[in-house]
């Protein structure tokens, strides 16, 4: 894992991030939005921004923005606002964009192949190092430059190349069994698309359960029960 530490890029002037283990899940879930909007501002050549301006862009109150960032020590000055590049660098640091994280995808079906081709991993500093499947017609193929390996090779592969997270796109009835194997390999982060909620906190795992159908049904609800603004 020493290589990952060497891959970190931090500016000389950066102060250590304030360690706050009690940051609420709501704040953590807003961090990727800061990442996206700040990246957009950098592309536009914006050098400095106030919490009020950022509030208008993100649809979050200026007070909430200040509270969120103060969870990590705060990155602005009153009356001076935020240096966009500096704030973006700190948000990237919080989100592990420069941490050199490695991931594998378990399940090389349609969803797994679509994910491995997506640019979001590279843009967020995550390297997909392999895919795994049990289908002999898929094993040995490459998708998006990533080789599909036999699930029998999982333990030996992870022993040779430490992996931080696994993306689960396999059938839900195999999710629990495969998760146990992944934990035994030292993998502690699971991005779970199986549709089966996994809760492995007692075993030291960090699980993000993703339900695409839930998001679709929220959209369905809003189409059937629009607010006044949505009816315009």
- For residue 20, is pLDDT > 90? no
Over residues 187-205, mean pLDDT: 88
The 10s digit of each residue's pLDDT in 75-111 is 866 667 899 999 999 999 999 999 999 999 999 999 9
Predicted local distance difference test score (pLDDT) of residue 1: 39
Q: Which CATH architecture describes the domain 9-94?
A: Orthogonal Bundle (1.10)
DSSP 8-state class, residue 136 = T
- CA within 13 Å, CB half, 51: 18
Of 14-23, 35-44, 178-187, the least confident: 14-23
Both tokens assigned to 5 = 């530490």
* CATH class of this structure's domain 101-214: alpha beta
**Tally of CB atoms within 10 A around 129:** 17
* Beta-strand relationship, 165-168 and 126-133: unpaired
Contact 102/164 with Cβ under 8 angstroms?
A: yes
Give how far Cα 178 sits from Cα of 54, 169, 196, 198, 207, Å: 42, 11, 13, 11, 13
CA distance 232 to 217: 21
The 10s digit of each residue's pLDDT in 119-148 is 999 999 999 999 999 999 999 999 999 999
CA distance 18 to 126: 24
Over residues 67-79, mean pLDDT: 80
- For residue 208, is pLDDT > 60? yes
Contact 68/30 with Cβ under 8 angstroms?
A: yes
Domain with CATH 1.10.10.10 in the chain: 9-94
Domain with CATH 3.40.50.720 in the chain: 101-214
Task: Give the model's confidence band at 13: pLDDT under 50 very low, under 70 low, under 90 confident, else very high.
Answer: very low
Predicted local distance difference test score (pLDDT) of residue 35: 96
**In sequence order, what are the residues at sequence separation of 6 or more whose Cβ sits closer than 8 angstroms to the Cβ of residue 134?**
150, 151
pTM of the predicted model as reported, rounded to 2 decimal places: 0.84
Both tokens assigned to 40 = 């957009």
Where is 40: in which H helix or E strand?
Answer: helix 25-43
DSSP 8-state class, residue 77 = B
């Amino acid at each position: 894992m020493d290589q990952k530490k060497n891959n970190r890029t931090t500016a000389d002037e950066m102060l250590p991030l304030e360690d706050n283990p009690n940051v609420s899940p709501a704040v953590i879930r807003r961090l990727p939005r800061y990442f996206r909007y700040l990246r957009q501002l950098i592309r536009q050549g914006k050098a400095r921004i106030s919490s009020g301006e950022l509030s208008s862009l993100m649809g979050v109150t200026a007070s909430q923005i200040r509270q969120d960032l103060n969870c990590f020590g705060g990155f602005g000055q009153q009356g001076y606002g935020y240096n966009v590049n500096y704030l973006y660098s700190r948000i990237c640091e919080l989100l592990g964009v420069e941490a050199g994280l490695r991931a594998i995808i378990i399940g090389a079906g349609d969803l797994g192949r679509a994910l491995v081709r997506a640019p979001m991993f590279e843009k967020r500093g995550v390297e997909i190092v392999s895919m795994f499947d049990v289908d002999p017609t898929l094993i040995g193929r490459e998708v998006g430059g990533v080789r599909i390996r036999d699930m029998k090779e999982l333990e030996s592969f992870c022993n040779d190349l430490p992996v931080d997270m696994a993306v689960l796109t396999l059938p839900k009835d195999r999710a629990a069994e495969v998760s146990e194997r992944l934990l035994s390999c030292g993998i502690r982060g699971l991005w779970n698309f199986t549709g089966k909620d996994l809760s492995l906190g007692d075993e030291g795992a960090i699980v993000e359960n993703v339900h695409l159908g839930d998001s679709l049904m929220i959209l369905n609800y809003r189409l059937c029960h629009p607010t006044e603004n949505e009816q315009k």
